[in-house]
Amino acid sequence: MDRLINMMVFAQVVESASFSRAAEALGMAKSSVSKKVRDLERELGVRLIQRTTRQFRVTEAGEALQRHCQQIRRELDLARDTLSGYVQQPSGILRIGASPLFGNVMIAPLIPAFQQLYPQVRVELLNSERLSDLVGEGYDLSLRMGKLADSSLVATRLFTVRSVLCASPGYLRHAGVPTRPADIERHRYIRWMAPSVPPYVALTFSKAGRTYTVPVTSQFSSNDALATKMVALCDGGLAMLPNYAIHQELEEGRLVALLTDYRSHEAPISLVYPHREQIAPKVRAFADYLVARMRDVDL
């Protein structure tokens, strides 16, 4: 780095044809400018400038070096201009980590409109049940549910996910509608083995300060929430699923929310990224976009 600085100081001296004028242009003391040129000459082993009290002349070696210095300066200017585009305009590849369920249901539908706003951003949505190492695996941001263990991450809470007990109208017509938690024991239960959560052996509800725990057994279990939902839609039994995953089915009447006057499991969904300072425009743009879109979510 010292060599590069010394070369840029030398180039300014040549362009100014004077140590004094170069020092003024660089905002440095004349003695510092002279020292950097001497250090460069000593390192390269050649005389670059012949100078006396009355004469200033660039040597042949100095002229050759000056041409290289001009090329280096052009490359530095080009690099600066390129990076300024990243600082000012969202662009480049945006890597987003999410669970398959949240990524497919909530994030993927929002990508086309985001790219209409920022056409220079290429999005990679990487769905995985495993919690990603944002920095180590090169993610720009991720969506996470529940309490965040890593306090070094920057998190923006989007909304709270509620677990909803539901079933299809067809199933309820022949099996009956549960009106209290204890009724669940006589129903078929479809178990979603959610990631990072022990498989349900009981469901817990609360109401008016009281807690109700109901044991459940399952004839069908899956680690895939979409598979669990499909079985419920096909009259397979009761299922406990995140509200965002069944919002459309509830609105259309293909699933019915049960025990709605009881509360069940809740957890926050957060947008997480690794740095608070010098956030890339593509990350800031998507974070702002997602927060604005999720502000309207009413589940």
Q: What is the pLDDT of residues 189-239, one digit of tens each?
A: 999 887 656 566 788 999 998 999 999 888 899 888 889 999 999 999 999
How confident is the model at residue 249, as a pLDDT?
A: 94
Question: Is 178 a residue whose pLDDT tops 90?
Answer: yes
Domain count, the chain: 3
Q: How confident is the model at residue 258 (pLDDT cuts 50, 70, 90)?
A: very high
Q: Specify the CATH number for the domain of residue 273.
A: 3.40.190.10
Last residue of a domain, one of 39, 64, 88: 88
What's the mean pLDDT when you consider all of the chain?
84
- In the structure, what pLDDT confidence band is assigned to residue 260 with cuts at 50, 70 and 90? very high
pLDDT reported for residue 4: 82
Domain with 54 in it:
2-88
Asked if 166 and 256 sit in the same domain, the reply is yes
- Domain end (from 88, 103, 124): 88
Could you tell me if 167 and 155 lie in one domain? no
Average pLDDT, integer, range 252-264: 94
Same domain, residue pair 148 and 240: no
Q: What is the full DSSP assignment across 167-179?
A: E-HHHHHHH----
> Number of C-alpha atoms within 13 angstroms, CB side, residue 169?
6
- Exposure string of 220-232, with b = 16+ CB inside 10 Å and e = fewer, is eebeebeebbebb
Q: Stretch 253-270: mean pLDDT, rounded?
A: 91
pLDDT band (50, 70, 90) for residue 187? very high
The answer to whether residues 203 and 254 belong to one domain is yes
Residues 107, 253, single domain; the answer is no
The CATH number for 59's domain is 1.10.10.10
Does 256 share its domain with 176? yes
Q: Both 154 and 178 in a single domain?
A: no
Our CA dihedral for 98, 102, 105, 108, rounded to 10 degrees, sits at -20
CATH number of the domain where residue 178 is located: 3.40.190.290
**Which conformational region is residue 176 in: left (phi greater than 0), alpha (psi within -120 to 50 degrees), or beta?**
left
Q: Of 45, 69, 88, which residue sits at a domain end?
A: 88
Interval 42-89: pLDDT, tens: 888 888 888 776 777 888 888 888 888 888 877 776 677 566 555 567
Backbone φ and ψ for 163, nearest 5 degrees, come out as -80, 135
Residue 180: which pLDDT band, with cuts at 50, 70 and 90? Answer: very high
pTM metric for this prediction: 0.63
- 169/261 same-domain check: yes
Which of 239-243, 256-260, 295-299 bottoms out in mean pLDDT, i.e. has the lowest? Answer: 295-299
The verdict on 155 and 193 lying in the same domain is no
